[in-house]
Structures are given as C-alpha cells and as structure tokens.
Structure 1
Amino acid sequence: MQKGGRETMRLSEFRITNYRNITDSGWIRVNDVTAIVGQNEAGKSNLFEALYCLHSYVETQYNPDEDWPVDDWKGKKNADGRPVAQAVFEFDEGDAKALFQFAADITSDNEGSESEALTVAPPDGIRLFACRGYRQKTGFWLCDEKADPIAAESLGLSKAKVSEWANEIAPRFVLIQDYEFSGAQVELNDLKSRLDAAGGQRHNLSTEDQTILIVLDLADIDLDDIVQKGGSAAGRTLRQFDSVAASAYLTQQFQKLWKQKPVEFDIRVDGQTLNIFAKDKAIGFPVRLNRRSTGFRWYVSFAWKFTHASEGDFENCTLLLEEPGIHLHYSGQRDLLGVFENLSETNTVMYTTHLSSMVDQANPERVRIIETDNDHHLRVTHGVVSSQSAPMAVIESALGLTSDLSGMLGNRKVLIVEGGTDVLILSKLSGLLTKGGKVGLSDQIYMWPAETSTKVPMYAAFAIGQRWDAGALLDTDDAGHQAYKKIKDMSLKEYAKETGHEFRVLMLGDAAGVKKTDVAIEDLFPDDWFLDCVNRCYGLALKLDDLPDDGSTLIAKRVEIALKQRQGRELKKKDVLTEMLRDFDSWTKIADLPRGTAANAERLFKKVNAAFGLENT
C-alpha cells in the first residue's frame, strides 16, 4: 500500500449537506485545478471546511453544536449519522488493480483451511465513494459511474479490506486558510511561555506564533529542547547543527513551489532569539525575512504550511486554498496559477477567489460560481455564468468587460475572434468591400477580441451564459483546433440550444476558402505581401524560396523560423502590424488590395453572415 512511484487516484466530485449555510450543494464536479468564485460570506469557507474533514491528515470531526444549519436548529437533535461530506474518487488503472489484489477475499473450507483468493479484474467505471457524517468516521465503499454503491462481496472482495486500503491510499485533504507571516525575530523562551500558558493548545496562540511552531516542526526542532540547549555551550553547539539542517530542509521545500529565482534560508538562534534570513543566490547577501516583500513572505507561508499540513508529502493530496495570492502583484498571481498547474500533475488543487486575475481565462471549465439563495443558503453553478451580480463582476473583470461594453454586446450578435489584430484586419477589409458594393461583415455583428485562441472558450462560455446570439471564428491551426475541441467538450453548443440561442464555431480556412492546411488571419493575404511587410519591418530581403517547409502552411510560422535561423531574431507580429497598417492606410478601394484578398474576405464574410442567419446584401 505504498504511495511512492505510482500514479494516484483523483477527486472527481463531491457534495456537502447539513453544514452551516449549506443544506445541499448538489454534486460539484472537480477538475485537476478548480476555482471556486464568489463574494464574501457566500459559503466558500464552509464548503472547504466540510470537505476537509472528510479525509484530512490530522484527526477532525464535525460538531453539530457549531456546524448544524442554524435555520434548522430543531433538527440538530437528530444530527448524529446525518451525512455532511460525500466524495467520489476516480481510480487510475494501477489503483484499481492494487485494490483488487489487496482486498481479494480469502475463504475457508469446512475444516478451517484457507483457500487462495480469487482475484478478478476491476470492472469498467468502478470508482471509490467516501462519506462522513456527524459523530461518524469516514466510510469507504465502491460505486459505479452514477455513484450508486457496489457491494464489495459481489466482486469477491472483503469489505473491511476495501475500507482499510482506501483509508490509507485515498488522497487526503490539506486546508490552508491563513498565510500571514511577518518573519520577525522571536524570543523562544517567551514563545514557550505563551504555549505553556495556552495549555499546549496551538490554536489559542497568534497566527505568528503558530507559524513559528510550524517552522520548528518542519525543521524537526523541539521547542523545549532548543530552549534548554541555549543554557550551555555544548547545547548551543548542538543547536547550531540543528539550525543548519533545518535551513537546508526549509530551502528545499520552498524551492518546490517558488520557481522565480533560487533562494536559501538561514535559521539562526542567538541565545534565545530566533531569526530567519533569506538569501538570493545571485546576490549572496542574507536579509531578514521580515524585510522581504509581503508577496515573498506569502509564498514562504504557503510553501511551509503546505509542507506541514501534508506531512512533507507534496503528492497525492487534494489541496484546498482559501483566497491564495491576495497579497501578490498581478504578475505574481499569474505565476501562482502556473504553480497550481505544476502541482496538478500530482495533486488536485481547489481554491477560492474573488480576484479576476486568479481566474484562468484559458480554462473556463475550471470555474465554479458560489451563489446564495433567498434564504442565504449556498448553491453552486458550474461554468462562468451566474444570475447574481457579485460573482459575475469577477468574471466580467477577467474578460475585460465594462458595464457599457456589456450592454452593447447584449444588443448585438457577437463574433468572438482570437485577438485585436483580427478585429483590425477584418474591419478594414469589411469596410473596403462594403464601399465597393461587395459583401462585408454585417453591421449587426459585433467582433469581440479574446486576446488568444486559448481564451476563446472562456469568452464563448460567458456569451452563451448571457444568452447572446454568439459564435467564434478560430484560426485553422493546432491552437484553433484545440480551442474548438474545448468548446465541444464543454457542451456549449448544446447548452446554447437549451436556452434558445445558437452558438456557432467557424474555422477560418474553411470559411474563407483558403486552400492551405493551416490558416491564420495573415493568410487572407498573399504570402508575398506579408513577407514584404516583414522585410520592410526588419530591413531584410527574404524571398518566399528562403522560407522553410516545416509542415505548416502558416506564412507567419514559416517567416518566424526563417528569421530565427538566418538572423537569430524573434518575429514580433506587432512590429509587422505597423508596416501592414501603412499599407492599410493607402487602400481606398477594392482594387488596392493585394491579389486574391478581396475574394478570400468576401467568402469569409458571407459564411459568417449566413451562420448568424443574416442576408448577404
């Protein structure tokens, strides 16, 4: 039943009932990374605290005197045994096989001799179900894809062994709610006095004191022992060795989560005074931790509390973080999302937030919105749509929506495109075609730039949730196909139909009739014209024959490779766009357009207009 060196099972969905302001959350699906978005006092903390008690590293329990819903206070007398947290875990192939080998039932014949257990193959769709209620320990069962129980005996397994195996192997929950840590110096004898006065109960101490005790725990330093060692020269020498070992361990644990630059920690004890120093390897000069930035100290607190709460095991746990990154700069918050992405390779990460910068626009399927009903009970919405303004303000801010823009979008048909350059180019081409009596983009369609193709699904989910008549135009390349697949996997088109609104996805190459395998917005123009813009931008004389055939027909991709190989330079589309705009300004009629551009653009606009049910006039 060892965890090391193997893939692990994952939390798939969970449900909370009969807990504070949660009467029934319904089943909440979980991704490798899940963002719980909602306003303060909506119940996000309640959701995490209830789930944490299901299978935590430390012993916890539900207290009906504090946790039973206050608006059903009479029902508290019947609380015992009532379920609070339920969860379903997905097996991977190795987990399922290990369980069936371990829990295979051994039978005895009439003479009491044991017979060899018959091991059967795990059936498809089998999962692990966990449940815990008031004054109960967590129970584990097997279940099917619909979370309906499966009797262990029917599979030739021992029920007791299934429970024993699950209790050991199932991912445990780690809850981190408080990250405050000043890093100021501490008098260890005073800390010991405060702990003794609190009867050894750490939760009665300040957050600062609790964090210092966590540091000592991680460093395997006993507070009584280190205070006693300070009373003699020999003891102080031994204490110095303890401090060096502790510093190395804390540095190692911190570096697993902090990727920006190498940092070393140095724990120093002088007499009864403890200081923690942090040293950037590039600079080499130690600085007391309390002199470092709030954001850096936040990361320190996060890393060490995570290490402590998970008993030093960074793998196979479900990490529950309340409002992470609130003290970080915007760029630090985006870096933190990258940390979550890395952690999700071996853990399930769930976090609450009311910060738009902590919502990953590239992954709208990760968002769960917390609402409250008229009775202040929690309810959960999957996706980026809510009928309540407070949580939606987070989503609207993440998408760069202002109230004025939101209103304008609501009165139009919306075409989501991959970026601002697409809007600029398509607007120019549409204007020229319309002026020349050709078909341009209907003035009933509003183009909404999503910055990149990876963010298009987030915008699509929002538009559908707002019941806009919407669609998306994606490049015909790998990134565009991935975005289309994500929209399809999220069943956005089906959801749109349920609400009486259609959502359509158009691929640029097919819509414009461009005969290339891969097509981006630049490919509406002839290759030689785009290359001419690049040459003017960089002062080069590249020819089409100089461009490599890398398997892609994207002109920008081929130019990028040629620039890198010949000049060691990066292609910056914004710089090339400046040259393109110079040509744009000189185009006043259709005849000014590079050859073939007008035909490509008109085919595209006709397809887009038709997709929205608009006449091409």
Structure 2
Amino acid sequence: MTPKLKRFRVTNFRSVDDSGWVEVDDVTALIGTNESGKTNMLLPLWKLNPAKEGAIHPTSDYPRKYYNKIRHEKPKPVFIEAIFDVGTELARQLADETGMPIDQMREVSMSRRFEGEPVVDFPNATPARDIDQNRALNLLSRAETDLTAMTALKTEEDLKNLALAAIGSAKTKVSGFNEIGPLQLDELISAFGAVKTDNAPKTSTVVPRYLRLSEELEKVKSEISREHPREVESAVNLVLESLPKFVYYSNYGNLDSEIYLPHVIQNMSRADIGAKEQAKARTLKVLFEFVRLQPKEILELGRDFKDPQNRQPTDDEIAAIAEKKKQRSILLQSASTLLTMEFRSWWRQGEYRFRFEADGDHFRIWVSDDKRPEEIELEGRSTGIQWFLSFYLVFLVESADAHQGAILLLDEPGISLHPLAQRDLSEFFDSLAETNQLIYTSHSPFLVDADRLDRARKVYVGEDGTSKISPDLRASDGDITQRGAGYAVHAALGLTVAESLLLGCEPVIVEGPSDQHYLNGIKTLLIASGRLKPGRELVFPPAGGAKGVKAVASILGGRDEELPVALFDSDLQGRNTAKSLREGLYVAEPNLVLEIGSFTGMADSEIEDLAPPELVARELDRWQCGSDVPFAEEMKSGAPIVPQIEAWAMRNKVQFAKPGWKVELAKRVKQRLLVEGAQSQSLSSEILDLWQNLFNAFQAARSSAKASAPSGKVGAN
C-alpha cells in the first residue's frame, strides 16, 4: 500500500494563520471564491515534500503582517504539517527498526519550518519510560521462588542465602519506589552485583539463575531507555524514502498548433526559460513520449538534400530522402491514430480526430470531429479542447512515470471547459485517484460531485482577514465570503436535485417564486383536506417572469418530449405572453396554457388573488406595521389585490424593505395559510373550491394533451 495523506494543517503561510486539521480523501475539492486563499492551502503541501522545485520564497510565502517577526525568528515557525497512513507493510518495517508495536507505527507525520528540511515524527509512538511496580516485583519474586526451591551444594549455601537476601532487599526497595525508571533499575542491578559469584563452582545452579535476574532487569532497562522513533535515523530515512511527493500544477501548458521542432529540442533541455514556455515544453515532451515519437528523429527524417557546393543529389540520394520522408509520414499517421483512439476513451464531448503533419522543421497538429469534418489547426479550436488535450497528456504520461504514487495538487483545473466537460473532468479525477491522491481547487459547481459532498471543503476569508477552511458547507453562515464559498457546493447540489426532482414529476411552469410559494401551500392544504390526490408529484418551477416561461417550457419539453402546463397571471404582460405561446410553441396544445383570471373571475388578477384577501391584508399590515393607515381598512373586495397594495403604499409613503416584496409577502401568507389551514373551519368552501378547480385544471390539461398527442408526443417543433 502506498502511504496516503490523511490530514494536513497549514499555519503561518501567506493568508493562512491556522487552517486547523483538514481531512482529505482520495479526491478532495477546495471550493471558494476568488481571493479566498485556496491556492494558499495547496502551496504549503507542495513545499512540504515537492517532486521538483517548491522552494520557499520569504517575500511571498511569509505572512505579510508577520514578515519582519519571522525574518528574525530562530527557529522559524512550522508552516505545514501532514499526517500519513503508511500501511501495514511499511508499519511493520518501522516496527522492526524501532522496536515499537506496529499499531503505533501506522501513522507518520511530516512537518516543515520555513528553514531546513522536512521533519518526520510518529504521533502515536509512546515509548515506555518506566515500568509498573508489579512487573518489577514479579521478576524478583520468580527469581526468589526459583532459588528457594533449588538444592544448593554445601559450598553454595552461603551464596544462596546472600542471593535471597539481596532479592528480599530489592523487593523492599521496589515497594518504596514511586516510579521505576532506568535509574532505579540501575540501583537494583548494582546491588545484585555486590554478591560475588566468581568463586562459585562451575556446576552451580544458583549462580545462573541469580545472574539471569540481572539480565532480565537489563533487558527491561533497555526497553524503557529506547530512543523515540523520531530519533532512529534508519526509521526516519525509511519514511523519507517512502512518503509520496507532492506535484503542483497551475499552468497546464496548452499545446500550440504549429511547433518549430528545433526550438522544441532545444527547450526540452533548457532550464532558463520562463514558466509558460517551460509548461509548453513539458506538454510537448509528454506528447511525443505518448505517441512514441522523438522530435529529433522526426526532424532528421524530414531533412532535404543540402550540399555546400550546390551539388545536385544522385538518384540514390533522392530515393533515400524519399524513403525517410515516407517513413516519417507513416510514423505520424500511426501516432495520430493512437492519440485519436486513446483520447476518445476519455473525452465525451464529441468524436475528435487528430492528425500530425511535419513540413521541414515545422510540426503541426490538425483537429476535426464528426460534426465538422474539415480540419482546423489545434490553436483554432476552443481553449477547452486545447486544455483538455494538454491536461490529458501530462497526467496520463507523467503520473505513470515521474509522478508515480505522487499526490497531485491541481490549482483551478478546467476553467476554460464547458460545464459538461467539467463534469467529465470530475469523473476523470476518480480514475486518477486509483493511483494518485488528488486535491484540487475550484469555484465551479460542475467540478463539485454532488454525490460526494463529503470530500468538499469550503475555503473563505474570516472576519480577521485570514483564510479559513471548513467541511461545513452551509452557504448561509457568516459573511458574504462564506456564503460565496458555499454557493458552488449548493449550486452543484441544486443541479443534481433539479435533475432528479423532475423525473417522475408533473411540472407546472409559473412566472416567479411568489407563484411557487402560493401554489405549494395550496397543494399541501388540498391534499390534507382530501380534495386533491395527485397521481404524480406536482412541482412549480419558476421561470423568472412571464418572458422566461417559453425558454423553461422548451427545456422541460425537451426532457421528455411533453410540453408542461404553464400558468400565467392575467395582467397585461401575462395575457400577451400566454397568447404568444398558444400561437407558437403550444399551438398544438393551447389548453396547456392557463391564466389566473379564468379561475378567479377577475380581469387583471394575479397569483395573490388565489389567497383569501383578508389574510393577505392582515399579513401585509403585520409586515409593514409603520403605516398610519392599515391596508385592511382601504382594501376593496372583488378587485385584484396587487394594484391596491401598490396604490396604498404610494399614498401612505410605505417603502418595502427590499426588492421582491411580492416574494416576501408570499412566504408570510403561505406560512399563515399552513397554520390556519390546519383548522378545518378557517378556510371557506368558496376558496377551497377555487383551489380545487385550478388543480383539477392542471391535471385535466395534461390528460387531454396526452390523449391527443400522436405517438405519445406533445407539442410542436
């Protein structure tokens, strides 16, 4: 088993004062807004045990507010500590090296200060520094019992008695010791040495048993004087050799479409080029390695005949040059086919074909796909496909080579990718994690696996201005930076919930969230009263206004080829949009488009007119209690309520607390409806009949559409 990172802690590094212990999985996502400090959580891990580079730069790595203090500190503070599970095999080797139990060797820590090399420790190792009093007494008592039972030679009687006396004295001393450490054992061993055994007969049985007692005490002393594993050089070296390196990527080196081979050959061996050129050189190196080509070979095979004396080539020389160019062409075709086949097994956003072409000193990459068969240079395709190809090559080749077993740290991967491609990338991370643990940063919900939210960590800026990290993904806690950090996670969860929620449900598109609140409350009360028994769950996705209904209807209609029911207010905009839909998208099924006025019997009525007007007025006055004239005193029954509220607010200079007052009012009315609706006498039969008619119309419209649709399909193209 390759040692695995279990948790890490960043302290005193850039914007991070103290991250606390961060638990990690095979794949761990650090989610946060821009400038939250995500990168500052990755960089210390890289610099703990880098596969390459990873030098500490005081001017950028020391926290700015402590820069002068740290600059003069000796020793400088620890900036990173990590705990690894080394596995049973390595733990057994460490136990052999240190004499410690295997279970105490299973976890290893590595830390690093701003100066010096990484430091290895064993957090669970607890070498004994004393022994229990009973253990010492047992050793003495067993020796005493054995010697007492022995039949000594006449010449040994005195020696036996002296030995027993020494043991008896030792037992008395042991009973008086508060602790028995190396010093106390030395005292006992020294006292036993006072009994001279040199002149005892060689056939003595007393002396061997008596000397064995001292040996047993020496062994115990050695046991409790053992070095801590961190002091055992062979064990520390074994850990340093075995722990995985960290590989950090932030520049993925997108490939260019046209490559000048002499520069490629030169840059592959240079260390004095910039970071961008280094990244490109690395990607080109793995490209040629992946397709089993050598840039120098491709260059040499394409050389034309050149003679300093302008001599014309012979027929044999022309044939040899032609043969080399043919060989180069075959090699490039073979490499193109290999890359195309391998790439298709991973990239799912189209059937891409790659073609390599060499022309003199130039090497080009052409790309086509099943929908656009004409070839376009790689640089002319999207940034996403360039990034994906470069990323694919680097990780498939390098992770199986120099980075074997390394822990991969990816900073903002896949920014330029389409959301669906980002989801594919997230799945690819799982396959990478079979051989390499992986930690990445992102702010995209499409790179957060909603099925594995346990491996997401929220990074945000705390009130003290330092970067924090937490597994608590609630988006509503703390200030705006915390809410922003959790938003990507909640958006990912929302995408998954939305996908699953609509499966098996009957959607009714509404204009906005206020409609959603009212209709969900009404549905609950109708079901509770026995007036509604839906065969499928009714859901009310809001379209963000009347104009958005067409777009949402098209999306939901494309999901199962059935247009959903749409409900509009009967104000001017609602009526116009409903008319447009009946003449366009819903021309084959105009009965799926419903208006509130058809049920309330009032022109210009809106969703608010479905609720008892007295209850709406009461909740409005409770909310806007600062008005001198309560709305309930001016409200006129039998007329749409929203225009009345707006006119009342203008007359009485009532300013609603925030935009979207209709949504806030809807929440309050819905809550009161659910409380009072539990009492059977609180709602009139007239209002219940109105609601039942509306919901019956939802079901009738859908049933009618299904019955009239040819081949089970509803709606016009």
Length-normalised TM-score, structure 1: 0.54
Structure 2 counterpart of 1:115: none
Aligned to 1:82, which of 77, 81, 92?
77
The answer as to 2:341 corresponding to 1:346 is no
Q: What secondary structure, in the 3-state scheme, does the structure 1 residue paired with 2:35 have?
A: coil
- For residues 30-109 of structure 1, what are the structure 2 equivalents within 5 Å? 30-74=24-68, 75-78=70-73, 81-91=76-86, 95-101=87-93, 104-105=96-97
Distance (Å, rounded) in 2 between the aligned partners of 1:80 and 1:211: 40
The answer as to 2:396 corresponding to 1:302 is no
Structure 2 counterpart of 1:140: 120
Q: Do the aligned partners of residues 46 and 434 (structure 1) sit closer, same or farther apart at CA in structure 2, a change above 3 Å counting? A: closer
Distance (Å, rounded) in 1 between the aligned partners of 2:440 and 2:225: 34
Structure 2 counterpart of 1:164: 237
Farther off after superposition, 341-350 or 96-105: 96-105
Report the CA distance between 1:263 and its aligned residue.
Answer: 5.4
Counterpart amino acid of 1:419?
L
Report the CA distance between 1:164 and its aligned residue.
Answer: 3.3
Listed one character per residue, the Cα deviations across residues 539-584 of structure 1 (whole Å, up to 9, x for unaligned) are 9xxxxxxxxxxxxxxxxxxxxxxxxxxxxxxxx9x99xxxxxxxxx
Structure 2 counterpart of 1:476: none
Counterpart amino acid of 2:433?
S
Q: What secondary structure, in the 3-state scheme, does the structure 1 residue paired with 2:237 have?
A: helix
Q: What secondary structure, in the 3-state scheme, does the structure 1 residue paired with 2:52 have?
A: coil
Q: Do the aligned partners of residues 317 and 260 (structure 1) sit closer, same or farther apart at CA in structure 2, a change above 3 Å counting? A: farther
- For residues 187-202 of structure 1, what are the structure 2 equivalents within 5 Å? 187-189=260-262, 200-202=272-274
Structure 2 counterpart of 1:27: 21
Q: Do the aligned partners of residues 71 and 398 (structure 1) sit closer, same or farther apart at CA in structure 2, a change above 3 Å counting? A: closer
Larger helix proportion of the pair? 2
Aligned to 1:356, which of 445, 457, 465?
445
Q: What secondary structure, in the 3-state scheme, does the structure 1 residue paired with 2:450 have?
A: coil
Q: Do the aligned partners of residues 88 and 392 (structure 1) sit closer, same or farther apart at CA in structure 2, a change above 3 Å counting? A: same
Distance (Å, rounded) in 2 between the aligned partners of 1:264 and 1:427: 54
Q: Would the aligned equivalents of 1:253 and 1:304 in 2 still touch at CA under 8 Å?
A: no
Counterpart amino acid of 2:96?
A
Structure 2 counterpart of 1:373: 462
Structure 1 counterpart of 2:248: 175
Q: Would the aligned equivalents of 1:97 and 1:122 in 2 still touch at CA under 8 Å?
A: no
Considering only aligned residues, what root-mean-square deviation do their CA atoms show, in Å?
5.0
Distance (Å, rounded) in 2 between the aligned partners of 1:433 and 1:230: 79
Q: Would the aligned equivalents of 1:186 and 1:274 in 2 still touch at CA under 8 Å?
A: yes
Q: Do the aligned partners of residues 241 and 11 (structure 1) sit closer, same or farther apart at CA in structure 2, a change above 3 Å counting? A: farther
Listed one character per residue, the Cα deviations across residues 411-463 of structure 1 (whole Å, up to 9, x for unaligned) are xxxxx99836499999787433543599xxxxxxx9999xxxxxxxxxxxxxx
Q: Would the aligned equivalents of 2:108 and 2:120 in 1 still touch at CA under 8 Å?
A: yes
Q: Do the aligned partners of residues 239 and 377 (structure 1) sit closer, same or farther apart at CA in structure 2, a change above 3 Å counting? A: farther
Q: Do the aligned partners of residues 200 and 281 (structure 1) sit closer, same or farther apart at CA in structure 2, a change above 3 Å counting? A: farther
Q: Would the aligned equivalents of 1:86 and 1:132 in 2 still touch at CA under 8 Å?
A: yes
Q: What secondary structure, in the 3-state scheme, does the structure 1 residue paired with 2:103 have?
A: coil
Distance (Å, rounded) in 2 between the aligned partners of 1:437 and 1:252: 60
Distance (Å, rounded) in 2 between the aligned partners of 1:52 and 1:209: 21
The answer as to 2:478 corresponding to 1:387 is yes
Length-normalised TM-score, structure 2: 0.48
Distance (Å, rounded) in 2 between the aligned partners of 1:266 and 1:326: 26
Q: Do the aligned partners of residues 417 and 214 (structure 1) sit closer, same or farther apart at CA in structure 2, a change above 3 Å counting? A: closer
Report the CA distance between 1:89 and its aligned residue.
Answer: 1.4
Structure 2 counterpart of 1:131: 111
Report the CA distance between 1:345 and its aligned residue.
Answer: 3.2
Q: Do the aligned partners of residues 190 and 397 (structure 1) sit closer, same or farther apart at CA in structure 2, a change above 3 Å counting? A: closer
- For residues 392-403 of structure 1, what are the structure 2 equivalents within 5 Å? 392-393=483-484, 395-396=486-487, 399=490
Aligned sequence identity (%): 23
Listed one character per residue, the Cα deviations across residues 177-215 of structure 1 (whole Å, up to 9, x for unaligned) are 12362532022335667889x873353737656644554
Distance (Å, rounded) in 2 between the aligned partners of 1:364 and 1:96: 29
Q: What secondary structure, in the 3-state scheme, does the structure 2 residue paired with 1:368 have?
A: strand
Counting matched residue pairs gives 415
Q: Would the aligned equivalents of 1:250 and 1:304 in 2 still touch at CA under 8 Å?
A: no
Q: Would the aligned equivalents of 1:61 and 1:135 in 2 still touch at CA under 8 Å?
A: no
Q: Would the aligned equivalents of 2:15 and 2:37 in 1 still touch at CA under 8 Å?
A: yes
Distance (Å, rounded) in 1 between the aligned partners of 2:396 and 2:430: 18
- For residues 557-576 of structure 1, what are the structure 2 equivalents within 5 Å? none
Counterpart amino acid of 1:294?
T
Distance (Å, rounded) in 2 between the aligned partners of 1:433 and 1:245: 67
Report the CA distance between 1:87 and its aligned residue.
Answer: 0.8
Aligned to 2:529, which of 415, 435, 453?
435
- For residues 210-609 of structure 1, what are the structure 2 equivalents within 5 Å? 211-212=283-284, 215-216=287-288, 231=303, 233=321, 254=343, 257-258=346-347, 265-278=354-367, 287-307=376-396, 310=399, 312=401, 316-385=405-474, 386-393=477-484, 395-396=486-487, 399=490, 419=501, 421=505, 430-435=524-529
Counterpart amino acid of 1:55?
N
Q: What secondary structure, in the 3-state scheme, does the structure 1 residue paired with 2:10 have?
A: strand
Distance (Å, rounded) in 1 between the aligned partners of 2:36 and 2:449: 21
Larger strand proportion of the pair? 1
Structure 2 counterpart of 1:604: none
Counterpart amino acid of 1:188?
L
Counterpart amino acid of 1:328?
L
Q: Would the aligned equivalents of 1:356 and 1:395 in 2 still touch at CA under 8 Å?
A: no
Structure 2 counterpart of 1:205: 277
Counterpart amino acid of 1:305?
V
Structure 2 counterpart of 1:492: none
Give unmatched runs, 5+ long, in structure 1: 1-6, 107-117, 406-415, 439-445, 450-534, 540-571, 576-617
Counterpart amino acid of 1:258?
W
Distance (Å, rounded) in 2 between the aligned partners of 1:251 and 1:401: 32
The answer as to 2:257 corresponding to 1:184 is yes
Give unmatched runs, 5+ long, in structure 2: 127-223, 305-320, 507-515, 533-538, 543-702
Counterpart amino acid of 1:77?
H
Q: Would the aligned equivalents of 2:354 and 2:367 in 1 still touch at CA under 8 Å?
A: yes
